[in-house]
Structure formats: C-alpha cells, structure tokens
Structure 1
C-alpha cells in the first residue's frame, strides 16, 4: 500500500500537472470504485483543480466550490499519467480523469477491488473521510509518546493504525522499528521515555529520508513504479537476507494479511519471535535465538 513518502511524491507530481487545470471529464471503467452518490460524479466536470492534498493515505483533488475527489489506493491501486493522445493502461483501469493536456488514470492490479473513489462537497464531508491519525512531524516527543500509549497496542500496530498516526503502513513501520532498534511487538504503553523518544526520531528520519529518495528516483517523470519493496530498505521484504547493520538474517512473522520483518540481533536482543503457524508445527524444535540459525 502506498504510504506517506509515496503519497507525498504523488501529490507533488499531481500539483505540477493539474493545479489550475480544468477537469473536463471523469469516466468510470468499473462502477464499484465509486463509493458516493451525492453529489453526482458528473458534477466534477468543468471544475478547476485548486489544490492537491494528502489525507492520511488518501489523495485529494480539491476542485472549485469545495468539491473533492478523494482517491484511496489501498493495496494495489496506482495512479498513472498519460499526455494527451497517450495509450491508456488497459483492463486494469478503474477510472480516468481527463484534462486538456493529459489523462490521469486510477488503476488496480489483481482481481480484488479495494481501491476507492469518493466525490464529496464541503470541508465537513471531506473531514468525515479522515480516520484521525496525527502528523508525526507536527508532534513533539511527549505528544508522540502519549499517542503511542493509547490502547494496549504493540508499537507495530500503533504506528500503522490510521486513527493514531497519519500515513504509516506496513512497509515503513518495519524500517522505522529497525532504525529505532525496537521489537515490533513491544507494547507502546510500556515503552521507556528514552525508547519512545528514539522511536519518534526514527519515524521522522525514515519518512523524510524515503520521501527524498523517492523524489530523486522519480525526477521529473510521473511515478509509475510505486512499490512497497525497495532495494535500499533494511528489513522490509528482505526475509533471509543479511541485516545491513549486523549481517544477521532478517526474520519475518506472518499474520492475517500482513507481516512484520525485523532483525533479531538489532531489535530483540537475539530472540526469535514466534511465528504462530511455524512455532506450533515445530514445537520444541522452534529455535529461540538467532545464533541457533547460524
């Protein structure tokens, strides 16, 4: 799922191409992507783009008279830009937004249709789509720690909860926790003040660093290869590969539709966290320490 760094770069490129432009037409290739009925989507045609915003992990095209197109890419949704006359992406297209000099396409790979489009009127209607997560860059260490301690959540779950923090998902939470040298299953409410402060700094560093990296990788070209996995990542998507800091193999815990990637030596004092499925299968043979794997 595109997260804060990816969404920020999307927003910056959309501002360059769309700000001040008139939206001529919105076309739905898949009617189920639209999750609102009032105002009718046709009302967007002929309106000028006055702002492009990030709302958590959503992208907002603000139009004249407080009309808002709100795009949530979810897991496999992506945005693609084609200059006027360019070839459309094809069967993966869910919706298209036509301007005089090009077309913005909302696409989604795979068979599951999770990406969504809302068209709403008024700031209050837009605010209703905001899950309420706070911008970590606007928080000081004490405010961050207080937010982290809400509920009895692990730090991994707290970081990725859109009601607590804005724009952080599975990929960058792995990188943040690795940089902070914290177990993904440490409880946010029990973190020592020094650990919470270190985590706060790690959040800001990882998100700002990756935003800048993606800007540089993309350059002037519209971002087409948005992915949750990058070669420069320390642990996310690197199961079994060496940790860049200590060389120990990166570990992984799979749960529900998600996973946590971590370095046992850097983050859990060498302890291997139990994977529910594998630990049940192996019982006493389940290794307890990273050195037992080496």
Structure 2
C-alpha cells in the first residue's frame, strides 16, 4: 500500500505534469470504485487543473474548484502515459478503475502533448476509492483525518498530547488515520525500528524521553522517505520504497543495524516485522496466529 512518502511523491509528480492542463475526459472502469454520484465524473471535462494536493493517503486533483480525489488502498496504483491511451474503458473487463485524459497546457503554445493516467487495482479485494466532490471535506476519510506528521504545526508537544491517555499499542496508534494521517503498516514498522521500540508498547506508558525518541524517528523516517521518492516517475516508486525498508517485509533477513534476524507477527490480514535485539531487548514476540494453529 502506498503511504505518505509515495503519495506525496505521486502528488508532486502529477502537480508538475498536470497543473495548467484541461481535463479532456474521465472514464470509470470499475463502478464499485466510484464512491460519489453527484457531481458526475463527466463534470470534470473542460475544467483546468489548478492544484494537486495530498490529504493523508488521498490525492486531490483540484480542477477549477471541483475535486477528483482518490485513495489507492492496498492494491491500487497510478499508471502514467505521456500520450493518453485512446481505447475506451469497458467496465469490469480489466484491472483498470479509472482513465483520465488531458489536453495540452493552456499557457504553452508549443505544447502538443496529450497525457493521461490510469488507476489500476490488483487482487480480489477491491478497496480503491474514487470521489468527485466540491470540497475535500466531503470525503469521509478526509473529514476524519488526524494531523499530518510533516506539517509545521505537528510539534513534539502536539505528538505528546496525542499519545497522552492512549491505552492503545503504539503500532496500531501510528497506523490509525484518525490519529495521525498518512502512516501505514510499512512505515510504522520502520519508525518503531528506528526508535528501538516494541510495537506492543502502550502509548500512554511512554516516558518523555521515549516520546522524544519516537517523534524524531517519525520525522526522520518520513522525511528521508519523501526525499528518496521525490522526483521519481510513478512507475519507480514501488521499487524505491522496497529498497529503503530496513525491516518491513524482510522477515528472515538480517537486521541492517545489529545483524539479528528480522521477525514477524502475523494477524488475520496483515503482519508486522521487527528486530528483537533492537526493539524488544531480545524478547521474541508471540505470533498469535501461529500460536492458535499450534493449540
């Protein structure tokens, strides 16, 4: 799943290429992915792209005040075409969920390019979501977002206030979009590894030093990942993300810090990875799914 760094890079990629262009057409390939019905997607046709924003893991194309917003979820991705594909989408016939085409830039008489992008979704669980709204706050997932961890206003004091009184395990809290926007399974693993903290630590029990360490780990991990992803073409972002991960999705490999083996705890539909030496004082966390199987 793309998280804050990849979504930020995608937003920048689209901003650079689309601001100043007019929407030529919008086609829906997966009706189930479209979560709004008024305005219709066709209402975007003829409008100029004035800005591209990120809200947590959502990307927002502002076209003269009408917003095309999408969330790529676990299996979704954006496929860019310097020259838009002319083939009309047939709903339900492929992994394609959305196709958008654009005209040449209005402010460049020499521009004859007609780019576009597709949104695709792999796998059987279809969670990619597309919205056409008059204001971003009309998207339920955006309306309930917590603060952005890279915003200037997100200080250590604000972070400490969020953790105060939270009886939740820190791994789950970091992933909770209503608490902190944009961090998912992968980067929560990475942040906790950098902070040398157990994913099962209780947020409210962290002392001031631990809160400070976790805050710095959150900031440094996300900012480094954003920097690494910035400027890369959309098609390269997945590989760039994998290359930068130290523990997430690296079960059985060596921890790059201490050389211990990276371990995993599995859940119903996800898993977390950690280093026992770096994060839990050598204690191996119980894999609850395996424990149930052994009973």
Q: Tell me the TM-score normalized by structure 1.
A: 0.89
State the SS of the aligned residue for 1:35. coil
**Distance in 1 of aligned mates of 2:248 and 2:79:** 25
- Counterpart of 2:227 in structure 1 is 212
1-structure distance, mates of 2:146, 2:163: 11
Is contact 1:27-1:96 (8 Å) kept? yes
CA contact (8 A) 1:94 1:107 kept: yes
Which deviates further from its counterpart, 176-185 or 112-121? 112-121
Is the Cα contact below 8 Å between 2:190 and 2:247 reproduced in 1? yes
CA distance in 2: counterparts of 1:198 and 1:128, whole angstroms: 29
Match of 1:233 among 245, 253, 265: 245
The runs of 4+ residues in structure 1 deviating greater than 6 Å are 87-90
Preserved contact between residue 237 and residue 261 of structure 1 (Cα < 8 Å)? yes
Q: Counterpart of 1:82?
A: 81
Counterpart of 1:108 in structure 2 is: 121
Residues 179-205 of structure 1: CA distance to partner in whole angstroms, max 9, x if unpaired?
000000000011011001100000000
The match for 1:95 is 98
Which residue of 2 is the match for residue 179 of structure 1? 194
CA distance in 2, matches of 1:198, 1:68: 38
Matched, 1:73 2:72: yes
Are the structure 2 counterparts of residues 242 and 181 from structure 1 closer, same or farther at C-alpha, using a change threshold of 3 Å?
A: same
Q: What's the CA shift string for 1:218-262, capped at 9, x where partnerless? A: 2xx343552696133211011111111111100100112111100
Give the 3 Å change call, closer, same or farther, for CA 78–48 of structure 1 in structure 2: same
* Distance in 1 of aligned mates of 2:81 and 2:167: 46
Aligned equivalents of 1:224, 1:270: Cα separation in 2: 36
2:37 equivalent in structure 1: 37
Paired position in structure 1 for 2:270: 258
Contact 2:268 2:289 (C-alpha < 8 Å) held by counterparts: no
How do residues 183-194 of structure 1 correspond to structure 2 at under 5 angstroms? 183-194=198-209
After alignment, is 85-94 or 3-12 more displaced? 85-94
Deviation larger for 125-134 or 98-107? 125-134
Mapped contact 2:95–2:121 kept (Cα < 8 A): yes
Q: Structure 1 225/142 Cα, relative in aligned 2: closer, same or farther at 3 Å? A: closer
Displacement of 1:282 in angstroms is 5.1
The answer to whether the 8 Å contact 1:80/1:224 transfers is: no
- Encode CA deviations 1:160-217: one digit per residue, 9 max, x unaligned: 000000100000110000000000000001101100110000000000101111226x
SS of alignment partner, residue 230 of structure 1: helix
**Which residue of structure 2 aligns with residue 271 of structure 1?**
283
Residue segments in structure 1 that go unaligned for 5+ positions in a row: 284-294
Structure 1 pair 254–167 and aligned structure 2 pair: CA distance change class (3 A): same
Q: Show the counterpart of 1:7.
A: 7
Between 71-80 and 104-113, the greater mean CA deviation after superposition: 104-113
CA RMSD, aligned part only? 2.1
How far has the Cα of 1:148 moved from its partner? 2.2
Give the counterpart of 2:144 among 131, 142, 145: 131
Alignment size in residue pairs: 279
SS at match of 1:105: strand
| Contact 2:78 2:234 (8 Å CA) reproduced | no
Unaligned runs of 5+ residues in structure 2 are: 104-113
